[in-house]
Amino acid sequence: MHVQIVKDPAAGGVAGFKVFQQALAAGAKVFGLATGSTPISIYDQLTASDLDFSQLTSINLDEYVGLGSDHPQSYRYFMQHHLFNAKPFAHSYVPDGLNTDADTETKRYESIIAANPIDLQLLGLGRNGHVGFNEPGTAPQSTTHKVALTPSTIAANARFFDNADEVPRYAYSMGIGTILKAKQILIVAYGAEKAAAVAAMLQGPVTADVPASFLQTHPNVTVILDEQAASQLK
């Protein structure tokens, strides 16, 4: 695992952009993408660049069950706003949050990934070591699946909705096994609140208690951290 420590998220965006740039130059055709605040500085760099993704494919990690693509809190909407409107891909896949048949939707999504092997997968890191919606206890061989969101996640998301009943209780997410099939992985973490998870991911045992620790088993992982997120590394 190649670890790069930067001053702040803005510098992390520049460093992450370079990883995308190098992957594109090396012939990458399929990019796995993530949502949340962490990748925004990378997406800002991409949208401001002259890189062309119009002949390429993107595949997102996850989506809330019950939210359509036009819902402002859906991950499809997030991607349109932060990347796709400025940098369209030939094909952009996000799980269909309105498909309530979990077996059908997860199998459909796995078939998309099998047909479009991911060259570079972007990840954020949760405070408890989760990646995507793969919470502690997720099996390393897991594929795309329906996840029951934790009470803390539901509570944290409540501020984005008019009332508590609207907050999604489930999501579709790539599994750990699916993520590990990517040829290259880029994981990014910022802030002191991520420091313990970073140390467990990089220097702790490989365990389902810290899903991100399974990245230690992958042959090509780049880790971008700000100084605070790296503060507990030995």
What is d(CA 187, CA 222) in angstroms, rounded to the nearest whole number?
Answer: 6
Which positions are annotated as active-site residues? 62, 128, 130, 135
SS3 content of the chain, % helix, strand, coil (to 5): 35, 20, 45
- Cβ–Cβ under 8 Å, residues 62 and 142: no
Q: Residue 116's Cα: distance from chain center in Å?
A: 17
- Cβ–Cβ under 8 Å, residues 9 and 41: yes
- Cβ–Cβ under 8 Å, residues 136 and 153: no
